[in-house]
Structure 1
Amino acid sequence: MGPAMFDPQGPNTVAHGENLEILAAMPDASFTLIYVDPPFNTGRKQTRAARTMVRAATGEGDRVGFKGLEYVTELGQARSYHDSFDDYLSFIAPRLHEAYRLLAEDGTLYVHLDYREVHYVKVLLDEIFGRDCFLNELIWAYDYGARAKSRWPAKHDTILVYVKDPKKYHFDSAEVDREPYMAPGLVTPEKRERGKLPTDVWWHTIVSPTGKEKTGYPTQKPEGILRRIITASSRPGDWVLDFFAGSGTTGAVAAKLGRKFVLIDQNTEAIEVMRHRLDAQTRYIEANDPVPSDTMR
């Protein structure tokens, strides 16, 4: 392993490399908040060849079957398919185990998913954290994009929220941005002016294609979503981790809110986007560097 990936007294850090290897090198209980927006489907290609067993003379077979009869294995045509379900869980599970280890006792994990994988990952997180550590299922609803006509259009993501210790986790609702009441005429003028606390359903636009936030990175998430998460589940000075960092939204918002961050991504394009987006004092590390890097952008 190359340079130290986490220094509690050090600067904000972006690490370029395989996240599982980098996570394994970090000390336990380092982060108050971990947010991840993992790929929804790894899409790895699996190849299998059909096998046929043919009876063979004694001593000529490569397999022994019932009553000692010998068989020769003949391979047929290879066929390929995408084993998305099994592959995704085997991909994400060790990384979520690392997230559990890296959370402080008052820490919280947010896992951002879509409808394809959220149910399977929920069961996996129940096993890793325990069902008593499940805090919320957040629904981020938006109204943009194509409209399917053969089914209800999918216009939401799900964010699963787990805490390290249900008796110690940090949550500050007083600091969270408030929303307008949907029926303002039913509340007092004082309440209308103050707004209401968000529920577990968040109506928030996607990143505008022409807005200032837009970086051009395809899976970029809006700063408003991360601002709400970071404000509620961390304090100024706390460390925040995102190991599928993408365009660096987590780091950009954390810095604005006075938090420290570590971002990890293995995509070279993502690292370049973050270099242009993040604060000049952010440290950039290549995970395979042979010696510690003190390079600042």
Structure 2
Amino acid sequence: MSSYRLSQSDAVEWLRAQPSASVDLVITDPAYESLEKHRAIGTTTRLKRSKGSSNHWFQIFPNARFPELFSEVWRVLKRDAHFYLFCDPETMFIAKPLAEAAGFRFWKPIVWDKLHIGMGYHYRSRYEFILFFEKGRRRLSDLGVADVLPVPRVYRGYPAEKPTALSEVLIRQSSEPGDVVVDPFLGSGSVGVAAVRLGRDFRGTDLCDEALAISEARLRAEGAVPEAAEETSVRMAQSG
């Protein structure tokens, strides 16, 4: 039975509180800074309940904080582990060298093909990048998987929600059952749902009340149990 632990905290501060070399895989999707620029000129969705350049759903994670984020991701990951970062083409050129400076080896951008075009003026957007980084050396589970992943986007879901099927590909490729998967920008919990469906444990954090409530409900619906409940169950089984 998979367990989960959720927290309401700043991503970097939460990672700082985690033990070193305690995580098998990190998959995450920060609300990157370029979203604000695109939203200001109307080339991306204006999120429900937004107010000017800010919004009710999530806070923008500034590019200036990438070095501390990548440093903490590197620290909490075990040796021979992978790190996947969702981003747009503009953010890729900023994030890649900063992650390399933190120690990661960059393999390539994986293309998420959303199958249908989205917002924009100049060649409307149909794809997003997933930057593939490595700490140490780890073999992918299936070397036959292509670097373009065709998975339909989520319609009418949580803002910027990623399909669970997409995270499942990454989790299968870069972890084993029983491993710990982490997402420090939790959102709707799609990474966590994918993790528990595949028999992994999940840890995540977000600042938004609604994100935590949605994620908790989704994880429980998948049969995952809170970490404390899992520990109690194991102790009872051992004593019996």
Q: Would you call these one fold, judging by a TM-score over 0.5?
A: yes
Instruction: Identify which of 189, 211, 225 aligns with 1:282.
Output: 225
Residues 41 and 145 of structure 1, relative CA distance in 2, 3 Å threshold: same
**What is the count of residue pairs matched by the alignment?**
206
Name which of 91, 109, 120 aligns with 2:65: 91
Change (3 A) 1:240 1:147: closer
1:19 aligns with 2:14: no
Tell me what 1:154 maps to.
Answer: 125
Look up the SS of the partner of 1:129 in the other structure.
coil
Distance (Å, rounded) in 2 between the aligned partners of 1:267 and 1:283: 19
CA apart distance, 1:122? 0.8
| Residue equivalent to 2:146 | 199
Q: Distance in 1 between matches of 2:123 and 2:145?
A: 25
Partners of 1:14 and 1:284 within 8 A in 2: no
Call closer, same or farther: CA 1:253–1:281 in 2, change over 3 Å: closer
Greater share of helix residues, 1 or 2? 2
Among 129, 135, 139, the alignment partner of 2:103 is 129
What root-mean-square deviation, in Å, do the aligned CA atoms of Structure 1 and Structure 2 show?
Answer: 2.8
Name the amino acid aligned to 1:159: I
Q: Which amino acid aligns with 2:102?
A: I
Q: Gaps (5+ residues) in structure 1?
A: 1-9, 45-80, 175-196, 210-215, 286-293
**Distance in 1 (alpha carbons) for counterparts of 2:119 and 2:173:** 33
Q: Deviations over 1:209-242 (max 9, x none)?
A: 4xxxxxx311210011101000010000011000
Runs (4+) of structure 1 moved beyond 4 Å? 145-148
Q: TM-score, normalized by length of structure 2?
A: 0.77
- Is the Cα contact below 8 Å between 1:247 and 1:274 reproduced in 2? yes
1:234 aligns with 2:175: yes
Any idea what the Cα deviations from partners look like across 1:161-182, whole Å, max 9, x if unmatched? Answer: 111103xx142107xxxxxxxx
Amino acid at match of 2:123: W
TM-score (norm 1): 0.63
Bigger strand fraction: 1
Sequence identity of aligned pairs in percent? 26
| 2:28 paired with 1:36 | yes
Question: In the alignment, residue 156 of structure 1 is paired with which amino acid?
Answer: Y
Report Cα offsets for 1:71-115 as digits up to 9, x if no partner: xxxxxxxxxx99xxxx82212221111000011112110010012
SS in 1 for 2:90: coil
Unaligned 5+ runs, structure 2: 38-52, 55-60, 233-240
8 A contact 1:206–1:221 mirrored in 2: yes
Amino acid in structure 1 at the alignment position of 2:140: F
